[in-house]
Structure 1
């Protein structure tokens, strides 16, 4: 090999930089192409969440279920890899709780035979999606009304809790309790307990069953109250104060109520 050939720069770092720049533009950019890409990712995410909801029923399909399972695992792995490349600080990205939830979901997809009983935790992806900046920078950018965002997040927390508990009850008590023979029975128990209706036709046995019922009731009431508060709370708009950083203000606010700094919130009626 000649000296001129050995002195040539390695093209690998430059190629890696281009890939990272491309991923960063798609996941964090504001161009029409980036927005379309993120909308596609969000639609795929909702389709995957739909599969997670139907997994207890589809599991009976045998080999077909596992084919779909591994296909989704490949999609999720590609998405996580692309998100990691798009993030400036990989260590900071790994510190995010949503990242660990997604990694755990990926593990349940890669090892469905051993981790299927923990598959109900896959529904946490609904919570991470609807609480992510990724979602609100793409879909939520159409809404300046913070109430839409707050109500959506509160509703996502409630729905996620319902289906996570339903999956736990189904995986733990199916076959061990005569009243829970299918997924619908587990969902019925969860909703009846969460709303404190307590028909009593399905009750979980033992002390752990009572503890779970109490936890569902207390947490359900808390989530319902949070949802009600976000609905009836006075309307606010997101307009960060450039002095103190307060994010939310009344639509007609002229000064920041925290520091008195003058604000210039656009009039929605203009």
Structure 2
């Protein structure tokens, strides 16, 4: 009986893994619809993270919502890990560690309250995930939209992470920073180097934060601008050297000279 139960449990586990692999990695319409639902839920969760500074004032209601979100995120991460062929390889991915950290801030909201602003890294991890691009990005035959989306995601995530940091650590300490909108205003003004000067952070620590925001912000702006003006490229791996991106009308690989045969979907 023990052996039969063990075999039955193993069989059910294999069926569950096969089902999850189909849903998270399949190309069939049902699998795509499932992943679209996951992405919609993720966007709703990110919206919850954005509204956290306001929702915290709701008291216990906020903590109930916090644990509901933690349950959803935990189940999603567990399902993705089980559907992955090698869990150890899955754990080596930086995006996974970001999601696990976000989950930790949800499970321990009191102890990790000052790090809650890092939850918005979930936006970056979503827009850089294979799941997102297998589902949404499958409509595009080149990398231009993907590159612009990733660059924009990095910039927006940085803005809201810095805003959350400034709100968490300088509210009430810096003059005129009394709410989330004040922190957002300071972040955008500093990041764009507009520097109106009506809101500043106190002390040497405040100056260091301002310098970092300006330097990183300029870098992210430049990256976004480069992706917007960079010549159009398509993803087509060279069969010899493996170079991924080429001009749409390329005949030879720029790296090794191999003759290419890039499909023309517009023909």
Query: 2:230 pairs with 226, 233, 237, which one?
Result: 233
Determine the structure 2 residue equivalent to 1:171.
168
The correspondence of residues 1-270 of structure 1 with structure 2, limited to 5 A, is 5=1, 8=4, 10-270=7-267
Matched residue SS, 1:113: coil
Matched residue SS, 1:255: coil
TM-score, normalising length: structure 2: 0.97
Question: Residue deviations 1:192-230, cap 9 Å, x none?
Answer: 000001111111011010000000000000000000000
Distance in 2, Cα, partners of 1:6 & 1:122: 45
Please state how far the C-alpha of 1:55 moved relative to its aligned partner.
0.5
Question: Unaligned stretches of 5+ in structure 1?
Answer: none
Question: Unaligned stretches of 5+ in structure 2?
Answer: none
Distance in 2, Cα, partners of 1:132 & 1:77: 17
TM-score, normalising length: structure 1: 0.96
Counterparts in 2 of 1:249 and 1:192: CA distance versus 1, 3 Å: same
Question: Residue deviations 1:82-131, cap 9 Å, x none?
Answer: 00100111111111111111111111111112212211000001001111
Please state how far the C-alpha of 1:10 moved relative to its aligned partner.
2.5
Please state how far the C-alpha of 1:134 moved relative to its aligned partner.
1.1
Q: Are 2:190 and 2:213, in contact at CA under 8 Å, matched by a contact in 1?
A: yes
Please state how far the C-alpha of 1:268 moved relative to its aligned partner.
3.6
Number of matched pairs: 266
Considering only aligned residues, what root-mean-square deviation do their CA atoms show, in Å? 1.1
